[in-house]
């Protein structure tokens, strides 16, 4: 089965069963025809033609030194909703939400020389240089914090609920279980590991931070994507698995096909004699 070159759009949970199976003597191959890329994308693909300069009104949301390099793409009619799991990919890498401090040379540059501690089970006390930094943010609505906040792993990311500037306490949105992944009980989220929290934390997901290459910010309410200095093509992820290959769907090969952009597992395979090239 040969696909001619093209962007075939969304392939959502295509299911192969025993009736689609080949055999050892007569295997089934799904392949590119050979005249160019064959692309299935579980997301929204964007080219340079989809971006336009921001308006003067919009510029007020962003760092003044960055506004001339910020562009936007309208995702209305292209994506049903923008959630915390919606990501942006360039042709070369996963982009990252606008953040402070910036990420450079592939390494995290984060705050150092301060201490944080936990207050009950829902907040952290900011010390050192952090309180004055948080006070400078235009809002904490949408703000996320990543650092050694719960398990001692840097990947702990919590959405912010409020900030008590008088006492320097940042409270997290523990009312949203989806923010912490499946399988966890909120009562187990003890913001401990205090000794390992003292070196690294960064803030992200505010327009205040959009000032570096490969950074982006979603205005989820208006379904707008803002990106700093866009280069090449991009894709906005949606949830979805490309295909399930069920038990019994044996002797099938997939050759030269591109499966592009998903935050789920791309392919589930439970059959035998499968080949992916």
pLDDT of the residue at 186:
38
**Of 46-55, 151-160, 265-274, the least confident:** 151-160
Number of Cβ within a 10 Å radius of residue 177 = 11
Q: Residue 40 in contact with residue 70, Cβ under 8 Å? A: no
The answer to whether 59 and 67 have CB atoms below 8 angstroms apart is: yes
Residue 108: the pLDDT is 56
What's the mean pLDDT in 42-60? Answer: 93
With CA atoms as reference, report the closest residue to 235 among 10, 39, 41: 41
Q: Is the pLDDT of residue 100 over 70?
A: yes
Full DSSP string of 48-99: GGG-EEPPHHHHTTS-TTTGGGEEEEE-TTT-S---TT--EEESSSB-EE-E
pLDDT of residue 64: 94
Q: Which of 96, 131, 105 is nearest to 214 (CA)?
A: 96
CA 97, CA 207: separation in Å to the nearest integer?
9
Asked whether 237 and 259 are in contact (CB, 8 A), the reply is: no
Q: Which of 85, 77, 138, 148 lies closest to 115, judged by CA?
A: 148
Segment holding 269, helix H or strand E: strand 267-269
**Mean pLDDT, rounded, of the chain:** 81
Give the pLDDT score at 196: 45
Q: What is the dihedral of CA 125, 130, 132, 138, to 10 degrees?
A: -90
- Checking if the pLDDT of 276 tops 90, the result is yes
pTM above threshold 0.85: no
In this predicted structure, the answer to whether residue 109 has a pLDDT above a threshold of 60 is no
- Our measurement of the distance from residue 22's CA atom to the centroid of its chain's CA atoms, rounded to an integer in Å, reads 37
**Do the Cβ atoms of 253 and 275 come closer than 8 Å?**
yes
pLDDT for 275 = 96
- Report phi then psi at 14, rounded to 5: -60, 135
**N- to C-terminal Cα distance for the chain?**
15
Q: Is the peptide bond before 101 cis (omega within 30 degrees of 0)?
A: yes
- Model confidence at 183, pLDDT cuts 50, 70, 90, reads very low
């Amino acid at each position: 089965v040969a696909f001619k070159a093209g962007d075939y759009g969304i392939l959502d949970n295509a299911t192969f069963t025993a009736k689609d199976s080949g055999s050892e003597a007569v295997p089934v191959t799904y392949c590119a025809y050979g005249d160019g890329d064959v692309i299935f994308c579980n997301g929204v693909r964007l080219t340079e033609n989809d971006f336009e300069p921001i308006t003067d009104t919009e510029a007020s949301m962003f760092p003044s030194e960055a506004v001339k390099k910020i562009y936007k793409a309208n995702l209305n009619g292209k994506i049903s909703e923008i959630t915390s799991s919606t990501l942006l990919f360039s042709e070369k890498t996963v982009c990252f939400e606008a953040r402070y401090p910036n990420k450079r040379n592939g390494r995290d540059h984060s705050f150092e020389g301060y201490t944080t501690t936990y207050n009950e089970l829902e907040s952290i006390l900011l010390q050192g240089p952090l309180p004055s930094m948080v006070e400078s943010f235009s809002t904490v609505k949408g703000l996320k914090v990543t650092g050694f906040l719960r398990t001692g792993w840097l990947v702990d990311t919590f959405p912010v609920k409020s900030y008590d500037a008088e006492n320097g306490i940042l409270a997290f949105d523990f009312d949203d279980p989806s923010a912490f992944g499946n399988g966890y009980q909120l009562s187990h989220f003890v913001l401990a590991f205090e000794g390992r929290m003292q070196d690294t934390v960064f803030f992200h997901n505010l327009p205040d931070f959009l000032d570096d290459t490969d950074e982006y910010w979603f205005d989820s309410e208006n379904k707008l994507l803002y990106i700093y200095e866009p280069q090449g093509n991009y894709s906005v992820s949606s949830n979805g698995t490309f295909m399930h290959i069920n038990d019994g769907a044996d002797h099938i090969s997939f050759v030269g096909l591109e499966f592009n952009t998903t935050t789920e597992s791309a392919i589930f395979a439970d059959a035998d004699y499968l080949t992916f090239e």
